[in-house]
Amino acid sequence: MVNLCAPLKHHTAYEQPWFVLNSSRYSVMPSDHPAISHFYAFDVAHSADLLAVPDGCVDIVFDCDPTRPSVRICGTPLVAQRVELLQGHHYFGVRFSPGVIPGFITVMAEDLTEREWDLLEVSAFAQRIFESIVQAPQLQEQMKLFNDYLIPRLMGRTSKLTAMIIQQALAHRGDLRIQQLEHLSGYTSRTIHRQFSQDTGLSPKTFCRIIRCQAALETLNTQHDVSFSELALDLGFSDQSHFLRDFKKLVSTTPCEYQRKMLRNAYNDRICFA
């Protein structure tokens, strides 16, 4: 299997920014396995205005509440989408690498996009480690439990064509056209679309759009003096207005307001890399 995504280094891409801002603490631990982007844990300080932005990733989220623990598997949203996380609850999450569908669930990829499922209803394997994970006191211990039991079952049956498209989309920060994929793969656009959608639940165009938005987020999170017109051109948008419209639809605010909120709330300082 091709390595779909390099291990997370200390950057802020593929974090859910509104989760970070509404958490009293947010810890991240990278994974050495190519199917997993990283593990994370957080305590919800404020449950209002919690939005998930599209990231092209599947998440498994454990609510470690001692009285009513639960676990859900969530597909990527396609636009900013409201989610329910409970104030005062502690959560442990597993974020899969972009485009990867775990191999231990009974749900088809197309049924994950913009939806969430009770993991215990769609995975017999998860039932065997659920209680141990929600009762574990530390992120490192939860990660070890997940790895020890589920690592052999992580990868779904992703085709070589889909793996190549994912790699190219990440390498080009989403600025990729179907004609380029036809040239690189030797397949027709119809075959590319059918195979990629079957493997990921997303069209190649939608996936690239999401990755391009994530590239914009990473730039805004790490560079304070950003020209939005230059960023738009750098990401392959035809003009700045197209970039602004797309960003607001996917993130729920403008790039200017997003960066202002991140700076005002010390976004980068809120993330602890274990």
Splitting the chain (274 residues) into consecutive groups of 10 residues, what average pLDDT does each group show? 36 79 92 92 84 96 96 97 93 95 93 97 90 94 90 78 96 96 96 97 97 96 92 95 96 96 93 87
Sequence-ordered alpha helix ranges (H) in 172-234: 178-185, 189-200, 204-222, 228-234
Which residues make Cβ contacts (< 8 Å) with residue 3, sequence separation at least 6?
34
Q: What is the pLDDT of residue 158?
A: 87
The residue among 142, 140, 60, 141 whose CA lies nearest residue 100 is 60
- pLDDT for 133 equals 96
17-153 CATH fold: Jelly Rolls (2.60.120)
Delimit the domains of the chain by residue range. 17-153, 160-267
160-267 is a CATH 1.10.10.60 domain: yes
Residue pLDDT, tens place only, 245-254 = 999 999 999 9
Give the pLDDT confidence score for residue 13 in this predicted structure: 57
From CA 157, how far away is CA 155, in angstroms rounded?
A: 7
pLDDT at 155: 67
Residues 6 or more apart whose CB falls under 8 angstroms from that of 54 comprise 76, 77, 78, 79, 80, 209, 210, 213, 250
Q: What's the confidence (pLDDT) of residue 49?
A: 67
Q: How far is C-alpha 31 from the chain's CA centre?
A: 14
